[in-house]
């Protein structure tokens, strides 16, 4: 993977889209890695008791997947200087083999003289936006 250069990037450039299927098995793996074993991420009854429609993906997992869009484009995971999101809707993950599809897209929103760019990220699941004001600032070569 080669690192993207600042001279190659202009405001308005669109990043290649990324589609990721999230399954219940992914949630179990993420819970083990993160230590977040909140039952709303694996138990339908617990999720419904707190008013959710079903089990939901961890918000930080969704944020990490959004950053995968950016790091793949940048060519270097270490290029992320800052990232921020607002969680606007949960990513509901059904109990089946297919899980749910989360679609990510991004656009270069700002380019700074110091070689950084701000990427505006869009994340959608079940035809609805799941992240709001999602951005990542990337230091380019």
pLDDT digits (tens, 9 = 90+) for 53-81: 999 999 999 999 999 999 999 999 999 99
Cα dist. 121→19, 36, 55, 96, 106 in Å?
A: 13, 25, 24, 28, 4
CATH number of the domain where residue 11 is located: 3.10.129.10
pLDDT digits (tens, 9 = 90+) for 108-123: 999 999 999 999 999 9
- How many separate domains does the chain show? 1
In a domain, 36, yes or no: yes
In a domain, 25, yes or no: yes
In a domain, 1, yes or no: no
C-alpha span between 106 and 121 (Å, rounded)? 4
In a domain, 62, yes or no: yes
In a domain, 69, yes or no: yes
pTM of the entire structure?
Answer: 0.93
In a domain, 111, yes or no: yes
């Amino acid at each position: 993977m080669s690192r993207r250069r600042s001279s190659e990037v202009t405001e308005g450039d669109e990043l290649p889209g990324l589609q990721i299927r999230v399954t219940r098995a992914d949630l179990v793996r993420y819970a083990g890695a993160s230590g977040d074993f909140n039952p709303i991420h694996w138990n339908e009854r617990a999720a419904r008791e707190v008013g959710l429609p079903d089990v939901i993906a961890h918000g930080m997992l969704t944020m990490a997947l959004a950053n995968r869009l950016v790091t793949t484009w940048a060519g270097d995971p270490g290029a992320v200087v800052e990232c921020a999101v607002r969680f606007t809707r949960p990513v509901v993950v059904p109990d089946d083999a297919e899980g749910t599809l989360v679609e990510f897209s991004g656009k270069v929103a700002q380019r700074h003289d110091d070689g950084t760019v701000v990427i505006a990220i869009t994340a959608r699941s079940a035809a609805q936006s799941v992240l709001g004001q999602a951005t990542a600032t990337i230091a380019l070569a």
